[in-house]
Amino acid sequence: METLDNTGTHKTDKVSILERAALRRVLAMLGNPPIEIVLWSGEVIGTDHGTPVARLWIHQRRNFLRLLYRPDLYFGEAYTSGEIDVEGDFVKLLEYVDPLEQASARRRLWERFKLKFPQLASHTLARARDNIHHHYDISNAFYQLWLDPELVYTCAYFPTPTTNLEEAQQAKMDYVCRKLRLKSGETVVEAGCGWGALTRYMAKHYGVKVRAYNISHEQIVYARERAKKEGLSKLVEFIEEDFRSITGRYGAFVSVGMLEHVGKAHYVELGAVIDRCLSSSGRGLLHSIGRDRPMPLNAWIERHIFPGAYPPALAEMLEVLEPGRFTVQDVENLRLHYVRTLEHWLARYEGASEVVRQMFDETFVRSWRFYLVSSIAGFQSGSLQLFQITFNRADVNELPWTRRYLYENRQPRAPL
């Protein structure tokens, strides 16, 4: 409640000694980063370290202390609601705040408990559908505004830093096919196929038959239509089911950007599915956002963007593969490629923000901006990783002699 004191100014305008001290302490903990903070009273808490890279406006005292104490959750909420604003380098600002987020993540007992006992936070099939629906069924038109024309919503692979997004997504799909050593006529199963870009790519460029699973209704409808238009209906089949429903046996298993949504409690199940469906000479590829050690997902992202998601540490990803005695052949960390991918997405998103505002509202615009910006900061600071794991059965000796073949011809393959 705002009240007027006898000087006529708002009581809430004053910054208390406690508030100022708390802020200064937090800034000191972060090593006094070059950030300028403009408080609701107009008071500026500056930096002693040269020109600030960003200015943070805190428009109101409400939620100020919880912003300091739980930035992992409340920074995003305050930005989305307009209680705070950022001028200057938003990514850099979030990178500076990152240690604070990590510290508060470690404080969250319930989160750490869930890490130890993942079955308590396990995704039933119904929960999995809800979680996926929340994010991926927003509207295809929305994603078309800022993804590449093939609608690839996972980390791209940039053969050179100046490759554009379309080419980088093509290059990523080709890279995945090379890592899988796909041979024309083979069968492939894809778990979590998004809008079907990789499915179509594998069929079109490598002549394989693909069965692709996804529980997002909107995506499956789109994927089917597009495959039909491109004359690929005989080679690809889209199934609106969870990975647990996969049947049949295949020469290759691929999953790009699904593991983040599976939940640790189900890694063994996923491993059993791969074991069941992979032929004796089969190869597999798992591509997932990850961590350099186990840590809960950022609380704001979990609540507002990806309910139920969890980016695993590399050792946790291996829990999928160890029980089935799969052999890891290759692991590549593409973290900086995700920074680049997200920068492209953000630029396109900002270019289309007026349309997004009309489709949804200002809160939505800010919320998705924060999600993209904080993801860039996460990959940039090394708080998030992108692991691509290639594996096969233990006794497969038909392997490329070195990884050199992956780099011999930089051009993605022409359609067959």
Where on the chain is the footprint of a copy of itself (CB under 8 A)? 157-161, 292-294, 313-315, 318-319, 321-323, 325-333, 335-336, 380-383, 385, 387, 393-397, 399, 401-404, 406-408, 410
Q: How far is the CB of 100 from a copy of itself (least distance, A)?
A: 15
Reference 247, options 191, 177, 195; nearest CA is 191
The residues near 323 (Cβ < 8 Å, ≥ 6 apart) are 268, 271, 272, 275
**Residue with Cβ nearer a copy of itself (88 or 159):** 159
Q: How far is the CB of 31 from a copy of itself (least distance, A)?
A: 12
- What gap in Å lies between CA 330 and CA 162, rounded to an integer? 26
Question: What amino acid is encoded at 199 in this protein?
Answer: T
**Residue with Cβ nearer a copy of itself (104 or 380):** 380
For residue 367, give both structure tokens: 């919320």
Q: Tell how strand 385-393 and strand 236-239 pair up.
A: unpaired
For residue 66, give both structure tokens: 């919880």
Is the Cβ–Cβ distance between 240 and 129 less than 8 Å? no
Reference 385, options 319, 340, 334, 351; nearest CA is 334
Q: How far is the CB of 393 from a copy of itself (least distance, A)?
A: 8
Q: How many residues does the chain have?
A: 416
Q: How far is the CB of 383 from a copy of itself (least distance, A)?
A: 8
Is the Cβ–Cβ distance between 102 and 295 less than 8 Å? yes
**Residue with Cβ nearer a copy of itself (15 or 386):** 386
For residue 116, give both structure tokens: 């130890």
Q: How far is the CB of 391 from a copy of itself (least distance, A)?
A: 9
**Residue with Cβ nearer a copy of itself (132 or 155):** 155
**Residue with Cβ nearer a copy of itself (102 or 122):** 102
End-to-end Cα spacing for the chain: 68
Q: How far is the CB of 165 from a copy of itself (least distance, A)?
A: 16
**Residue with Cβ nearer a copy of itself (344 or 369):** 344
Burial of 245-273, coded b for 16+ CB within 10 Å and e otherwise, reads ebeeebbbbbbbbbbbbbbbbbbeebbeb
Q: How far is the CB of 252 from a copy of itself (least distance, A)?
A: 18
Query: Where do the DSSP E strands lie in 41-128?
Result: 44-45, 54-58, 84-88
Is the Cβ–Cβ distance between 287 and 386 less than 8 Å? yes
The residues near 22 (Cβ < 8 Å, ≥ 6 apart) are 65, 68
Reference 335, options 285, 291, 371, 270; nearest CA is 291
**Residue with Cβ nearer a copy of itself (41 or 329):** 329
CA dihedral sign, ordered 24, 91, 304, 242: negative
**Residue with Cβ nearer a copy of itself (48 or 408):** 408
**Residue with Cβ nearer a copy of itself (117 or 407):** 407
Q: How far is the CB of 388 from a copy of itself (least distance, A)?
A: 10
Helix (H, G, I), strand (E, B), or coil: what is residue 401?
A: coil
Q: How far is the CB of 350 from a copy of itself (least distance, A)?
A: 23
